Amino acid sequence: MQFREERHNLKETWVAIFSFLDHLNLIEDDSSRYEIGVSDRGFSYLDLMSEKKARQLTFEEKKERQTGAALDGSTRARGQSNVRKVETVDHDEVCLDTDLLAIVRDVARRRQRASLFPWTVGICGGVILAWLLLLANADYPFLAFVLSAIIVVPAVAFALVNTWHLDRSRKDVHLSYKIEGKGAIAFSRLNSALERISKSGQTLLFAGRRHFEDSRYTGGAANLPELKDIMCGRGRPPLLELDFDVWHVRAFNKDLFFMPDHVLIYDGARMGGVSYGNIAIATRTEVTQGRNRARPTADAVVVGRTYRFVNNDGSPDRRFNNNCEIPLIEYGVLEISGSGLDICLFVTNQQAAFGSPEGFNAIQDLARKPIRQVSDERRSQASLRRREEVFCVLLDALNCVAFSDGRASAVEQAKLRELMKRLGSPWEDAEVDRRSREFGDRARSQGLKTVLGEVCSRLSLIREGRQREILVKCLDQLIAADGSIHRNEAAIKQRIVKALQQQ
């Protein structure tokens, strides 16, 4: 565990050192993004779209909305409006409901894509080698090196960085888990059960059963289980971006990752996922001989003994000098099966084995519930949030004018409340006054010029041309509210109008 943390810290250090290379990246992120909810009501799966797809979708919607204005009776020519590409993406606005099968298929499809980075490294290596050979035959090698390096070195770095990001964009899948309520409790119980298994004195994988014709030479056993060592620890699935480690079991050359909502299985180049709702958990005990990989540990239950060679009545065969004593160990057996998954673990700590079904029960109950459809709710929440953000920037823009002379007069405050109410603000007058006082405090502490610059940068939230026209009219009405136009008020208004035109 400590080694993994040190390796993670070293990786973060190298990423920080070479973060300047990100400025050479021109690849738009096309890696998949999913949010999986694990809560009292079961599971939910949201496709949050990649950055690239979300931008394209948002751009197309905006284009359709603006170029379709002519159908609403306006005089704007259809298809000729000036549509700008969206700079920021709110994934909640474009999310779609999906399911576990679609996510697993997406991960599998991305894993099968060939990596381009090794090819780029080879090509760049060839280019550098040819470049060095040319320099060696040049009349002035040092001068030629300096002049050509200005082009070759940035070009190689540009190719490597962009190919690296292209591979990540084509292969990576970002999984974001939202675990709360009973979901958090169920996942905690699952992790606790697997942790007890991993801390058992010995955990072995059942790989089959070997039968014998003459039990006198096998300690009196007609058959013995074939047991193999198993790896059990915490880790993260390859090519999946997770915020936490999950339990990882390697059995039969397969990697099993116990995710909060399913068991993710990697089998070489293939992969699949099994829902906890389709998994059956069974426990029992079995006594076997402590030979080969099986051995008594501190938590093992030794129920008797036998010998390597025995007579028909079970007594030791005295004809053999090396007839050693063999303990009989009672293992707790944990069987996990369903949907193609079939593993059997022999655990020396019987309490850990028999307590595992209880650890799986809660997560299985949630998995058997119908998948929740939450995209409409998330889009609605995103719409409300976007609306509130627009009103926030509208209020701040008006406050910039109101506090242009250091304070807002009573007339300006009254006009401000009136304008916000007419605009359909979701806030009461008291809330508008409170936000205005907070704006005044921020303007006095940071300086109005600094706050105005921050407000102008947020004006991109006001996307509709009609909303921008309304803001300009509201600024004019607020400026004229006290019967006089201050020079600072006119300058601030011009700064805001200019910022709107540049968006």
Q: What pTM does this model have?
A: 0.75
pLDDT band of residue 200 (cuts 50, 70, 90) is very high
CA distance 222 to 422: 89
Quick one: pLDDT at residue 69?
A: 41
The pLDDT of 147-175, averaged and rounded, is: 90
CA distance 117 to 161: 9
The pLDDT of 182-204, averaged and rounded, is: 94
pLDDT band of residue 216 (cuts 50, 70, 90) is confident
* Residues 305 and 327: beta-carbon distance below 8 Å: yes
Q: Which of 317, 337, 355 is nearest to 192 (CA)?
A: 355
Please tell me the least confidently modeled range out of 161-170, 239-248, 313-322, 329-338. 313-322
For residue 337, which amino acid is it?
S
- The contacts of residue 293 (CB under 8 Å, 6+ apart) are 204, 227, 228, 229
CA distance 238 to 416: 55
* Long-range Cβ pairs for the range 391-394 (8 Å, 24+): 391/420, 391/423, 391/425, 391/426, 391/427, 392/435, 393/455, 393/458, 393/459, 393/461, 393/462, 394/420, 394/423, 394/462, 394/471, 394/474
Please tell me the least confidently modeled range out of 192-206, 328-342, 469-483. 469-483
What share of the chain has pLDDT > 90, as a percent?
Answer: 43
Bridging pattern class, strands 240-241 and 173-179: parallel
* Residues 245 and 236: beta-carbon distance below 8 Å: yes
pLDDT at residue 82 greater than cutoff 70: no
If you search the block for the tokens 């204005």, which residue do you land on? 69
Mean pLDDT of the chain: 84
CA distance 346 to 290: 12
The pLDDT of 11-35, averaged and rounded, is: 67
pLDDT band of residue 37 (cuts 50, 70, 90) is very high
**CA-derived radius of gyration, the chain:** 34
Q: pLDDT tens digit string along 219-250?
A: 888 899 999 999 999 999 987 888 899 999 99
Find how far residue 159's CA is from the centre of its chain.
Answer: 27
* Residues 287 and 329: beta-carbon distance below 8 Å: yes
CA distance 208 to 427: 69
| Helix, strand, coil % over all residues of the chain, rounded to 5 | 50, 20, 30
pLDDT at residue 368 greater than cutoff 90: yes
Q: Any idea what DSSP says for residue 369?
A: S
Q: Which two tokens stand for residue 187?
A: 């996942």
pLDDT at residue 29 greater than cutoff 70: yes
φ, ψ (nearest 5 deg) of residue 15:
-65, -40
pLDDT band of residue 279 (cuts 50, 70, 90) is very high
User: Any bridge partners for residue 225, and if so which?
Assistant: 209
Classify 71 as helix, strand or coil. helix
C-alpha distances (whole Å) from 163 to each of 14, 112, 120, 135 are 19, 17, 7, 27
Q: Which of 289, 282, 274, 146 is nearest to 223 (CA)?
A: 289
Q: Please list the alpha-helical segments (H only) found in 403-464.
A: 410-422, 429-446, 448-458
Instruction: Look at phi and psi of residue 79 and say left if phi exceeds 0, alpha if psi is from -120 to 50, else beta.
Output: left
Kindly provide the residue ranges of all beta strands, DSSP E only, lying in 242-361, ordered along the sequence: 246-251, 254-258, 262-267, 270-275, 280-289, 301-307, 325-338, 341-347
